[in-house]
Structure 1
Amino acid sequence: MKPIWIVDDDESIRWVLEKALARENLATKSFANARDAIAALEFDTPQVLVSDIRMPGASGLELLQTVKSRFPGLPVIIITAFSDLDSAVAAFQGGAFEYLAKPFDIDKAVELIRRALEESLRETSVESGPSETPEILGQAPAMQEVFRAIGRLSQSNVTVLITGESGSGKELVARALHKHSPRAAQSFIALNTAAIPKDLLESELFGHERGAFTGAQTTRRGRFEQAENGTLFLDEIGDMPFDLQTRLLRVLSDGHFYRVGGHQPMKANVRVITATHQNLEQRVRDGLFREDLYHRLNVIRLRLPSLRERREDIPILVRHFLVQSARQLGVEAKRMSEPTMQFLSSLDLPGNVRQLENLCNWITVMAPGQTVEIKDLPLELTQGQGDGASTAAGDDAPAAVVHPHGGQVFEAVAPATGAPPGWIGLLELQAAGMLGAGQQEVMAVLGRQFESALIKTALKHTHGRKNDAAVRLGIGRNTITRKISELGIDGAKDE
């Protein structure tokens, strides 16, 4: 994370902010005037910039104008005296994130800087995306057709609709279309329309103005603005609410949209790629999807085959995912025995490539040896798959997850189809094992472990200071004191 820049000719204000942010483990860099900060922008950029308005030489508003012209997503907090409220209004018109009125409360200043920091990190993660487009692997004839289609569309900006079952790799194809298009140097922005609550989806797509609704404390750019001159990928488009379909159609038709609460039309130069696992034609017939929007999106259609249609690709994908998972965990990659690989290739995996990737992550963590046999696979795969598989699985087949606090051992099953990778997938794995073993009060047990892990980590981060840990976790001092006692956590101190 980049440092927070503080620009103020008053040395005491710079000192106070530096010390307050240092206590929060946030790096800072200070400047006594705007000119030095502007010069530094030629070589580096901050995560958040905090600047006074009135300084000798260039003003804070000039600095704001320079920053917004070069780095429109960089949050700028303006420091102003109460007598400068007109300047504060001008600052907002110039795109400032927020302002601090002198004299300001240092805790409120740190809280405001933290909000700006969160916004900056969110913008950075959205705009940067993955540093490399993930590989699309496949030698099956059906996948070769997909590759040929991507090649034919490489110099086109045409709208594409990608269809296929869940987990078949629709986003990977969308990224490949972007990577090989004239827009490759610009942003690729992805949004799963089914994952965003209906009330928030409009703001996610089109952004909102400050004060547009309760909680809209700052102006926020939507995904169309973030994808300007690049590509916007809308996954699960079939689940988009009907009223928002009308707004999307208008953008595709005339290239203009309004932020929520805004009155100024915004121009959108964006290539839209959509994807769905649903039958859009049927949804049109059912009155759930606009027919005119369907025809706008269905200019070029790419259908991705399911894993059942490309079984010959399963060994390639398994080897790739095992190497990838091992690299992430810093361990040696597992290997599949020939019978195990043949067994996996015979399975109907309803979660397609995503399920296979999750399975390889599970194998990397749970399989006991370097060479994976059928008996090492999760029971839900081996049970009911024929005598050979059932016999090979045997009584010693299941791996085990040991309760973190010792004691009972629970049988582990693979994550559910479509389970996310990372710690959430492992949480689902642990919960599934406990539920499968008939464990009671699973929510309470895992909840205590979750709270204990969070509080212990926060206390390490604050060197045992429980009040600071409470602030960082967003809970009250009485709450953290009570939970430290209930959970039996050691090493906490009041100061």
Structure 2
Amino acid sequence: MSAFPACLVVDDETDIRELLVLTLERMDIRADSASSLSEAMHLLKKGQYGLCLTDMRLPDGSGLDLVNRIAQDYPGLPVAVITAYGSAENAVSALKAGAFDYLTKPISLKQLRPLVQSALKLSAADKANASEDTGALKLIGNSPAIQHVRSMIEKLSRSQAPVYISGESGSGKELAARLIHQHSSRRDGPFIAVNCGAIPENLMESEFFGHKKGAFTGAIQDKEGMFHAAKGGTLFLDEVADLPLAMQVKLLRAIQEKKVRMVGGTQEESVDVRIISATHKNLSVLMERGEFRQDLYYRLNVIELKLPALRDMPEDIPMLVDALLAKQCREQNRPIPTLSPEASHMLARHSFPGNVRELENVLERALALCDGNTITVDDLLLDQDASAHAPSARSAPEDEGLPLPDYLEHIEKTAILNALEKTQHNKTAAAKLLGVSFRTFRYRLSKLGLSKDTD
């Protein structure tokens, strides 16, 4: 066996096979080639490979057939598929089937090289993850729900496929995205997190793709965008549902073509970036309303990772409490207080609509209020009625026969007032608990006529 890593190239077009083999050999990668599915399976039985590159169309099958055969007989071997230009559906199908990544024809060597390097890093990343602690980030808990999420993260770390993380506000979507990045072959590259709802619409294209000097008033020099900043790593698009439709079109093209054009620029350039997106909103509902593009949804949601709500894994609350208290006390350089049995019981029974983020806020507040040795029920400042999993006293309207607009307004008022109660009328904290911006929270207060009552 050669000391060089090996790659299997599968394509029925001789010129493409020769181009790929030549490019790989110049990268010090030994390459074998096959012109059919059967020939590829024969070579796989004879040798060991770090990557397989296959065309989608083969004379005796398809690239998807090869992806499935390799997943069954050679688990762990990354497969990248080559699709015809504009065949987005084929690329998505291959990624869903377990392909590592894809390339489009005509093949760009600028895209091929980083793909190959990332694939060959997978085994090295596996060894590193198995032999060392890859950082302080970890999912805490032993519930079946958390164990399933851990298993999914491990699988997603071995792919370049776009991932869509769904879950309620405060459920840990960014943590999951960071863990996928941290355990992947991109772990040495940057992780760039972007809150799509925090960027002004008129600056969005420039922030994402960069701009050239003179592209608009104030553009005094070239500036790279977040796609450039995430080169070789992962771009995490949080609250992707907040993207305006015009920007959704541009993002779709960047993801499909793996290229971006700076504002004011004339040429597209290749970008090697993995996309992970998340939102607490229901994208299916937004698509039905015409507020989110269906084609972008299917490109982002190649694989979905659903994060459970904290109320669905109450058995993990004690472990989370211990870990969060230890972290906060370490940051404040103070001893860790104990929880009274009553306080522990209340935390275990609380529904936590704000999920882990709410639990963290509750404990941070309790640390500030406690005597330094013991956290009591009074230090938690939790609504006694809302501590159980049953709805709070304000959670249902008195009159079930209210018209729909009045009923929805009542529900919204209830949620806002409950959040204000839990945060001792701290509007900033209440907005955070509800998963909305402070500006949106103030607007809702005014619209519902609650401003005077809460000042």
**TM-score bin, normalised by smaller chain:** 0.5 to 0.7
Unaligned stretches of 5+ residues in structure 1: 1-130, 387-410, 426-438, 443-495
Residue 384 of structure 2 corresponds to 382
CA distance in 1, matches of 2:368, 2:233: 38
Are 2:351 and 2:387, in contact at CA under 8 Å, matched by a contact in 1?
A: no
Q: Contact conserved, 1:237 with 1:275, CA < 8 A, in 2?
A: yes
Call closer, same or farther: CA 1:311–1:330 in 2, change over 3 Å. Answer: same
Shift of the 344–418 alpha-carbon distance from structure 1 to 2, 3 Å rule, reads farther
Distance 2:136 2:237 in 1: 17
User: Aligned pair 1:242/2:242, yes or no?
Assistant: no
* Equivalent-residue separation in structure 1 for 2:386 and 2:354 (angstroms): 18
- Judging changes above 3 Å, is the alpha-carbon distance between structure 1 residues 220 and 134 closer, same or farther for their aligned structure 2 residues? same
Which range moved further: 247-256 or 192-201? 192-201
What's 1:21 paired with?
none
User: Is the partner of 2:383 in helix, strand or coil?
Assistant: helix
- C-alpha separation in 1, matches of 2:158 and 2:374: 44
Q: How many residues align?
A: 274
**2:355 aligns to what?**
352
Shift of 1:174: 0.4
Aligned equivalents of 1:412 and 1:369: distance in 2?
Answer: 21
Q: Decide which of 140, 161, 178 is 1:175's aligned counterpart.
A: 178
Aligned partners of 1:241, 1:180: CA distance in 2, in Å? 32
Residue aligning to 2:429 = 416
Matched, 1:278 2:291: no
1:302 is paired with a residue of what secondary structure?
strand
Give 1:116-127 correspondences, 5 Å limit: none
Alignment check: 8 A CA contact 1:355 1:418 kept: no
Q: Post-superposition shift, 1:334?
A: 2.1
State yes or no: 1:261 paired with 2:264. Answer: yes
**CA–CA distance in 2 between the matches of 1:173 and 1:304?**
9
Q: Give the superposition deviation at 1:206.
A: 0.9
Q: Could you say if the C-alpha distance between residues 256 and 292 of structure 1 is closer, same or farther in structure 2, counting changes exceeding 3 Å? A: same
Distance 1:276 1:384, change over 3 A: closer
Structure 1 residues 302 and 417: CA distance shift in structure 2, 3 A: farther
2:322 to 301, 319, 323: 319
Can you list the C-alpha shifts for 1:415-446, whole angstroms capped at 9, x where unaligned? Answer: 734649xxxx9xxxxxxxxxxxxx99x9xxxx
Give the conservation status (yes or no) of the 8 Å contact 2:352–2:358.
yes
Counterpart of 2:335 in structure 1: which amino acid? E
State the one-letter code of the partner of 1:202.
E
Amino acid paired to 1:295? Y
* Residue 171 to residue 384, structure 1, CA distance change in 2 (3 Å): closer
Residue 192 in structure 1 maps to residue 195 in structure 2:
yes
Residue 366 of structure 1: how far off its partner (Å)? 2.0
Cα deviation digits, residues 21-66 of structure 1 (max 9, x gap): xxxxxxxxxxxxxxxxxxxxxxxxxxxxxxxxxxxxxxxxxxxxxx
In 2, are the aligned partners of 1:367 and 1:376 still within 8 Å (CA)? yes
In the alignment, which of 135, 147, 151 is matched to residue 148 of structure 1? 151
Q: 2:298 aligns with which of 295, 299, 304?
A: 295
Q: Distance in 2 between matches of 1:235 and 1:149?
A: 19
Question: Which whole-Å CA distance do the structure 2 matches of 1:133 and 1:193 have between them?
Answer: 26
SS of residue in 2 equivalent to 1:211 = coil
1:216 deviates by 2.2
TM-score computed with the length of structure 2 as normaliser: 0.56
Aligned counterparts of 1:384 and 1:310: Cα–Cα separation in 2? 17
- Distance, in Å, in 2 between the alignment partners of 1:169 and 1:331 is 26
Aligned-partner residue type, residue 416 of structure 1:
A
Whether the aligned pair in 1 keeps the contact of 2:351 and 2:386 (CA below 8 Å) is: no
SS in structure 1 opposite 2:311? helix
TM-score (norm 1): 0.52
> Take 1:284 and 1:345, find their aligned partners in 2: how far apart are those partners?
37
Cα deviations by residue, 1:380-415 (Å, 9 ceiling, x for unpaired): 5336658xxxxxxxxxxxxxxxxxxxxxxxx96677
